[in-house]
Amino acid sequence: MSAAATLPSLTDAIALGLTDSEYELICEKQGAPPNILELAMYSLLWSEHCAYKHSKKLLRTLPTEGPHVVMGPGENAGAVDAGHGLVCAFKVESHNHPSAVEPFQGAATGVGGILRDIFAIGARPVAVLDSLRFGELGGPGSARSRYLLDGAVSGIGHYGNSIGVPTVGGEVYFEGPYEQNCLVNAMALGLAPREALVRSAAAGPGNAVVLFGASTGRDGIGGASVLASAELGEDDDKRPTVQVGDPFEEKKLLECSLELLELGLLVALQDLGAAGLTSSASEMASKGEVGIDIDIAAVPLREADMEPFEVMVSESQERMLCVVEPRNVDAVLEVCEKWEVNGAAIGAVTDTGRMRVLRDGELLGDMSVRALVDDCPLYDLDPVKPTAALYPPPAATLSADASPQESLLALLASSNIASRRPLFEQYDSIVGSRTIRRPEQADAAVLALPDGSALAVSIDGNGRRVAADPRNGTIATVLECAANLACVGAEPLGTTNNLNFGNPEKPHIAWQLTEAVAGLGEACRALAAPIVGGNVSLYNEGATGPIYPTPVIGMVGRLPDGRRAGRLGFLNAGDGLALVGPFAPSQPASELAKLRGHVLPDGLPPVNLPDAVAALAAVREAVRSGALSSAHDVAEGGIAVALAECALAGRLGATVTLGDGWWEALGAPGEDGAPNWPEGARDAALFGEGPAGILVSGPEAGLRSLAAQTHVRLIGHVGGECLRIALDGQDLIDASVEELAEAHAGGLKGYFA
Amino acid sequence: MKFGVLQFPGSCDEVDALEAARMVGEAELIWHRDRDLQGADAIVVPGGFSYGDYLRAGAIARFSPAMESVIEFAREGGLVLGICNGFQVLCEAHLLPGALLPNVNLRFTSRQVRLDVVAPDTAFTSACPPGRQLSIPAKHSWGRFHADAETLERIERDGQVVLRYAQGENFNGSVGDIAAVSNETGNVMGLMPHPEHAVQELTGGSTDGLSIFQSIRLAAERVAA
Amino acid sequence: MRARVLIRPKAGILDPQGVAVERALPALGFDGVENVHVGRLIELDVAEEGQLQPMCEKLLANPLVEDYEIQVLG
């Protein structure tokens, strides 16, 4: 049956996620109502997932340029200068909806997809990180959260371990609003010689278009694209369209792609992701301002009876599309044969500016590339700050009467703070022999470069704090990411982000998104860490409401000497201990507030960005100079938890006095760093959270030189087998490192038995 | 002294093994379709997931042309080291006794482990510091060494058990805490932990793995002399 | 000719997958379950029945740790 035999109607268009006016616009662009194939292709390219129609205008406000940027947004991945002729390509991408349907394959193919983005620009992937969010692990509804957690972690491990790319870091949080919509964001980094980078713009009419990799099946038809724009209900019917990942195929595809590029056989390269051939071919044509003809009869199929539209929209994994000069096609297919990868010339570049789909010469679809890729209408958001709380308070799990010591142990054992060892032990973090800092050794992962320098990378998000204050919460998230780099001695080179939000057509979600993007831009400008790429995942809401607004930030930095990479664990008994930065802790929206079942506050205290940035720079320089023994960002659970984490990583205790003398600055820049204590000062001092606090230890001389640069408060010294914390002369905490370790190690262990 | 490091589709740790071998001698990669071992004095069958490990870890790789040459090389007394997936391949090829089964915890597990050198005088351990444990990373999901009672008795008696997981380190459930075994003639050894990932202080957590490669070099030089 | 090969762990070999399933079933309310073993199923078309046994010995199964059973489906 020819695809043009029966024309689809407006109803079909709406079922595919288009609006009335979008359908009318398509008819106008086509000069006639589109046939099934054309409508399917338009509906995918005009989906939120491909066209960013509710976010593009906001994204245009972000800083994307800087001295280190080699390739900015718009390519498969961004790239920054890593020194000595090397560039680092990196990007984060979400696979939230597929993971909510089938966590193992959803997460696995998420990793596969982001790795293809990296090698599509000619870089060899060298690291994966992941950022995960699930519902609570205890209480009603938690069985599904545990299933999703286990599946996603196994899937990430399965893919990364098998393909030989180390998973070097990541984060995982558990909060009620993610119960219906888990978040699975994966980030990858790759390295390439600067001159080896390749773009995806098709060029040269008459050149061949070659598809290589796995054969094309019915998997994921309408997958990411349709799923990504519908609020996910409770039904499990979507399972049959799940894409299945094959890391072995991808490993061959990776080696094959890099060999093709090294031999200089390709004009352009692009991976196939959401919307399959439709998206990759159209985008290659659009970037090169050319046309492409695809002969679907030449596409190697897994099932012979596939409809033309199925071939064009299939999201079968592990496929790449390239443009090749005709004289090189045989050589390309030979390299494919060497790596036991299917390769087939399936079309040609034209000068028509049209995307045409043929089958053995019969024209099945004919669309303007510009209409497909560039003419999707972009929408303005209608942001309105909500007048009432959007999120119900969490169930209290810790009594307000708990002693400071009981609170500390409860926090260490809580799912958001407990040791991630049960997860990261399922990942190969060392293959490739670049990993200088493994998980739980430092705040950021550190990867050795051939010239003795090193890259540092961190991925962070904090949905609860962004929910409390989208702008300041996002600024704090970016600062945390930068602080993690500073703690290993790295200077930011560039940033990637994944904006995970609810339905942007709702005014309060539009407000969250608008505020968060404003904060993101502000913080990245202040840190000179421009955005080089990213991804947006909207409509993350279910029957129980939206997720916490969750911008996930990935940042890559560089340090000149890998041997001097900072570590988080205490190292030497007798070292002084200091808190660095304009840290002003407060209890609302903290982990302690969550354990106590507090409702989210309306707003967070603002941070002085220039002061925060200066503090990070000072810590970075001190780490680089070798003046410090340890450095650790104060995050969830405040100073007490940060101290415990340093003690656990170094298996060494500390004695700390807060209060009297805890504001004693060793020198400049004066007394303005002291915050005003709110009510509940004791809890805020011990467990309060806020950006721009870094806990460092080291010889006194090192701390003194740091104090000449920024706010430094001496709070104690390292040593012994216990963590002792006194506040205003009162001993509040005295716990052995063993006791802390037991609480910390046990929190998540039981979920992976 | 030259090492040849096999490369299968799906190998992951071959470049790490190549670089580790180059710290003690020359080393080249050998593509799985090549029968020519390029005059190597010792062969390393590296870790990874050869052919996706889809049927059974190592089951398909062992029939590759390069492995056929390695089998012949081993039968003539050539030195062969199998690491992780390479250990699985050598067992499948019957160059080593026993088999590798899924970890008891059924999960891929990545952990720095301590190993006791049970047989310090082999071609693979002679350079290990006497009386000291090795600290080497292990990372696998199919690492539980198994042999039937009779085989086990024989390999224990004949000194074919080369390395054992130290107390508390046997996370995969290997019988007799066995981490490495050799063949009867002592020229082939397989182990699950990855010595090639413990050759540099900066990235390896220790340099204990280097002594395995140094031992091979010494053994190869003895053969040549 | 269509054939099916069933591969299972040899008796007496620790089968952690089987153990995991055996533990999971009572948790779902299926009592009285024992002797669970998890194996593999391979279906294939072959030219001659006689090829099947050497295939199993050489590649499809590892006779050191696995038993196999050949079923010819016709």
Does the annotation count A158 as an active-site position? no
Distance from CA of B104 to the nearest CA of C (A): 6
Decide which of A347, A376, A405 is a domain's last residue: A376
**Catalytic residue of the set B128, B140, B196, B197:** B196
pLDDT in the model for residue C60: 93
How many residues are present in chain A?
753
A425–B11 CB contact, under 8 Å: no
Between A271 and A8, the higher pLDDT residue:
A271
Helix (H) or strand (E) holding A154: helix A142-163
Of A425, A435, A563, the CB nearest to B111: A425
State how beta strands B26-31 and B2-7 pair: parallel
* Residue B216 confidence (pLDDT) above 80: yes
Give the distance from residue A255's alpha carbon to the nearest chain B alpha carbon, in angstroms: 9
CB neighbours of A41 closer than 8 A, spacing ≥ 6? A278, A282, A309, A312, A313, A355, A357, A365, A367, A372
Each domain of chain B, given as residue ranges in start order, spans 2-224
Number of compact structural domains in chain A: 2
Q: How far is CA B192 from CA A41, A94, A234, A514, in A?
A: 49, 34, 44, 52
Mark yes or no for CB contact C60/B98 under 8 Å: no
Residues of A in contact with B18 (CB under 8 A): none
Q: Is residue A3 part of a domain?
A: no
At residue A117, the pLDDT reads: 95
Instruction: Please name the residue that has the structure tokens 């100079």.
Output: A625
- Number of cross-chain residue pairs from B and C with Cβ atoms under 8 Å apart: 32
Residue A465 is predicted with a pLDDT of 97
Q: Which of A411, A405, A403, A406 is nearest to A595 (CA)?
A: A411
B124 versus A314: the higher-pLDDT residue is B124
pLDDT digits (tens, 9 = 90+) for A608-638: 999 999 999 999 999 999 999 999 999 999 9
List residues in chain B touching A: CB distance below 8 A: 9-13, 15-16, 19, 48-49, 51-54, 107-111, 137, 139, 141, 194, 196-197, 200, 202-205
Is the CB of residue A248 less than 8 Å away from at least one CB of chain B?
A: yes
Is pLDDT at A742 greater than 80 in this prediction?
yes
Radius of gyration of chain C (CA): 15
Q: Does C20 touch chain B (CB under 8 A)?
A: yes
Question: What values do phi and psi take at A623, rounded to 5?
Answer: -65, -45
Q: Is A355 on the interface with B (CB under 8 A)?
A: no
Report the share of chain A in percent with pLDDT over 90. 83
pLDDT computed for residue A671 by the predictor? 46
Q: Which H or E element spans position A286?
A: helix A276-288
Q: How many residues does chain C have?
A: 74
- Nearest chain B residue to C13 by CA distance is B146
What is the rounded distance in angstroms from the CA atom of residue A447 to the CA atom of residue A166?
Answer: 10
Q: A203-207, A216-220, B47-51: which has the minimum mean pLDDT? A: A216-220
Give the per-residue pLDDT at A222. Answer: 57
pLDDT at A666 exceeding the cut of 70: no
Do residue B12 and residue A164 have CB atoms under 8 angstroms apart? yes
> Which chain B residues are closer than 8 Å to A164 by Cβ?
11-13, 48-49
Q: What is the pLDDT of residue B215?
A: 98
Average pLDDT over residues A241-250: 85
Q: Is B101 on the interface with C (CB under 8 A)?
A: yes
A311 Rama sector, left if φ>0, alpha if ψ -120 to 50, beta otherwise: alpha
Neighbours of chain B (3+ CB pairs under 8 A): A, C
Contacts of B98 in chain C (CB under 8 A): 64
Q: Which residue out of A54, A68, A84, A95 is catalytically annotated?
A: A95
Q: Is the pLDDT of residue A670 over 80?
A: no
Question: What is the DSSP pairing of strand A208-213 with strand A550-559?
Answer: unpaired
Kindly state whether C14 is in contact with chain B, defined as any CB-CB distance less than 8 angstroms. yes
| Domain stop point among A352, A376, A400 | A376
Q: Once rounded to an integer, what is the mean pLDDT over residues A640-661?
A: 91
Please report which confidence band the pLDDT of residue B47 belongs to, taking 50, 70 and 90 as the band edges.
Answer: very high
Quote the CA–CA distance of A274 and A555 in Å, as a whole number.
Answer: 24
Q: Which of B46, B29, B30 is nearest to B197 (CA)?
A: B46
Does residue B194 have an active-site annotation? Answer: yes
Predicted pLDDT at A664: 36
Asked whether the CA dihedral A326, A329, A332, A336 is positive or negative, the reply is positive
Q: Locate tokens 């539009």: which residue?
A: A510
Can you give the residue range of the structural domain that contains A727?
Answer: 567-753
Residue A239 to chain B, least CA–CA distance (Å):
23
Mean pLDDT lowest among A286-300, B182-196, C52-66: C52-66
Q: Tokens in use for A60?
A: 């245009």
Note whether C28 contacts B: Cβ–Cβ < 8 A. no
> With an 8 Å Cβ cutoff, are B98 and C17 in contact?
no
Mean pLDDT over each residue of chain A, to the nearest integer: 91
Contact B110 A563 (CB under 8 A): no
From the options 3.30.360.10, 3.40.50.300, 3.40.50.880, 3.90.930.60, give the CATH code of B2-224: 3.40.50.880
Per-residue model confidence as pLDDT tens digits over A709-724 = 999 999 999 999 999 9
Best mutation target among C65, C66, C67 (most B Cβ atoms within 10 Å) is C65
Domain boundary among A321, A353, A376: A376
Q: Is A162 on the interface with B (CB under 8 A)?
A: yes
Whether the pLDDT of residue A233 is over 60: the answer is no
C44 CB neighbours in chain B (<8 A) are: none
CB contact B176 to C (< 8 Å): no
CB burial string A233-261: b at 16+ within 10 A, e below = eeeeebeebbbbbbbbbbbbbbbbbbebb
pLDDT of A1 above 60 = no
Q: Do B99 and C17 touch (CB under 8 A)?
A: no
Q: Which of B16, B49, B107 sits opposite A432 (nearest CB)?
A: B16
| Domain range enclosing C31 | 2-72
Residues 556-595 of A with CB under 8 A from B: 562-563
- pTM attached to this predicted model: 0.93
Inspect the interface and report whether the beta carbons of B55 and C59 lie closer than 8 Å.
yes
Which H or E element spans position C27?
A: helix C16-27
| pLDDT grade for A49, boundaries at 50, 70 and 90 | confident
Residues A32, A35, A36, CA angle at the centre, nearest 5°?
Answer: 150
Specify if A233 maps to a domain.
Answer: yes
pLDDT digits (tens, 9 = 90+) for A321-357: 999 999 999 999 999 999 999 999 999 999 999 999 9
CB-nearest partner of B54 from A161, A164, A248: A248
pLDDT tens digit string along B89-118? 999 999 999 999 999 999 999 999 999 999
Q: Nearest CA of chain B to the CA of A117: how many Å? A: 20
pLDDT of residue A241: 63
Taking CB atoms and an 8 Å cutoff, what residues of chain A touch B29?
none
In this prediction, residue C21 carries a pLDDT of 86
Distance from A334 to chain B by nearest Cα, in Å? 15
Using the predicted structure, report yes or no on whether residue A3 has a pLDDT greater than 70: no
A324/A332 Cα distance (integer angstroms): 8
Q: Are the beta carbons of A297 and A346 closer than 8 angstroms?
A: no
- Whether A415 maps to a domain, the answer reads no
Q: What is the CATH number of the domain that holds C58?
A: 3.30.1280.10
Please tell me the predicted confidence (pLDDT) of residue A452: 95
The one-letter code for the residue type at C34 is E
Which of the residues B32, B140, B194, B197 is marked catalytic?
B194
Residues A678-693: what's their mean pLDDT?
84
CB–CB contact A425 B52 (8 Å): no
Interface test with B, best of C62, C66, C67, C68 (most B CBs within 10 A): C62
Torsion of CA A524, A526, A529, A533, to 10 degrees: 20
**Tokens 């079909």 belong to residue:** A12
Give how many domains chain C has, as a whole number: 1
Closest approach of C74 to chain B, Cα-based (Å): 24
Q: Complex ipTM above 0.90?
A: yes
Residue range A516-546, pLDDT digits in tens: 999 999 999 999 999 999 999 999 998 889 9
Q: Quick one: closest CA in C to B148, which residue?
A: C64
Residue A173 lies in a domain: no
Contact A252 B202 (CB under 8 A): no
Tens of pLDDT, residues A249-271:
999 999 999 999 999 999 999 99
Distance from CA of B56 to the nearest CA of C (A): 8
Residue A312: pLDDT band with limits 50, 70, 90? very high
Q: In Å, how far from its chain's centre is CA A589?
A: 22
Residue C22 Cα, gap to closest chain B Cα (Å): 14
Residue B102: which of C16, C60, C64 has the nearest Cβ?
C16
Q: Of A157, A433, A434, which has the smallest distance from its Cβ to B108's Cβ?
A: A157
> Domain with A629 in it: what CATH number?
3.90.650.10
Is residue A228 very low, low, confident or very high in pLDDT (cuts 50, 70, 90)?
Answer: very low
| Domain assignment present for A75 | no
